[in-house]
Amino acid sequence: MQVDLIIFDCDGVIADSEILSAEVLIDQLAQVGIAVTLQDIRRDFLGRSFPTVVATIRQRFARNLPPEFEATYRARLLDRFETDLAPTPGIIDMLEALDRPVCVATSSSPPRVARTLQVLGLADRFGSHVFTASQVARGKPAPDLFLFAANQMNCPPARALVIEDSGPGLEAACAAGMPVLHYRGGIHLAGEPPVPGADGFDDWAHFPEILSRIENRP
């Protein structure tokens, strides 16, 4: 197959940020008397939009979060980004050598993904080709965001390769009819088993070879 576009998720794929998000959320929930673990977050929240996360918390714990919870969480997380955010190992060198169009499709809010790419020095690399769940009716695991991104990039879905770290993201890509790879190199997935049935990798240095294999499959 021919890969004419590569769609990257942001958190956990471009930015090694999921562990920071988890730490901030765990701490902030503890302050209102709700205990969750990193495993809970991996299982239930990874790859989902913040409104979906809040709805899940409300349902599971039968609690309404304080009105200022989301704004405080976002502000605290961006503060952590300023000091602790890093790219996933090797992705910047890989992006510099990549020879085809790329874009970002993320469940993160527009301000968060914009600041993430600025901090990592990648804002110019992706330019306006950054798409968020706020632009579609349904977030991941629905296919809407990936289909929207491919349409905006003028690429047929079958020729867009998605790179994802989360279960909902992998489901969304499959539902969109797009080939997908599971990136497992983020800190938040350390020690986690591979997703059954998903082709994956954990080192960006191997990505060019993997891309070549995909394009040369009979």
Report the topology of domain 5-16+85-215: Rossmann fold (3.40.50)
Three-class SS state of 141: coil
Does the predicted model carry a pTM greater than 0.95?
Answer: no
Query: H/E element holding 8?
Result: strand 5-8
Q: What is the DSSP string of 191-215?
A: TPPPPTT--EES-GGGHHHHHHHHH
**pLDDT attached to residue 63:** 86
- Tell me if domain 5-16+85-215 and domain 18-84 are identical in fold: no
Query: By percentage, how much of the chain surpasses pLDDT 70?
Result: 100
**pLDDT attached to residue 44:** 85
**pLDDT attached to residue 32:** 92
Calculate mean pLDDT across residues 93-101: 95
Read off the pLDDT of residues 44-84 as tens digits, 9 standing for 90 and up: 888 777 888 888 898 889 888 999 998 999 899 999 999 99
pLDDT band of residue 187 (cuts 50, 70, 90) is: confident
Query: What superfamily does domain 18-84 belong to in CATH?
Result: Putative phosphatase; domain 2 (1.10.150.240)
Distances (CA, A) of 71 to 108, 139, 148, 166, 181: 14, 20, 27, 24, 33
Distance CA 88, CA 85 (A): 10
Calculate mean pLDDT across residues 11-28: 93
Read off the pLDDT of residues 161-170 as tens digits, 9 standing for 90 and up: 999 999 999 9
pLDDT at position 135 over 90: yes
Q: Where are the domains of the chain?
A: 5-16+85-215, 18-84
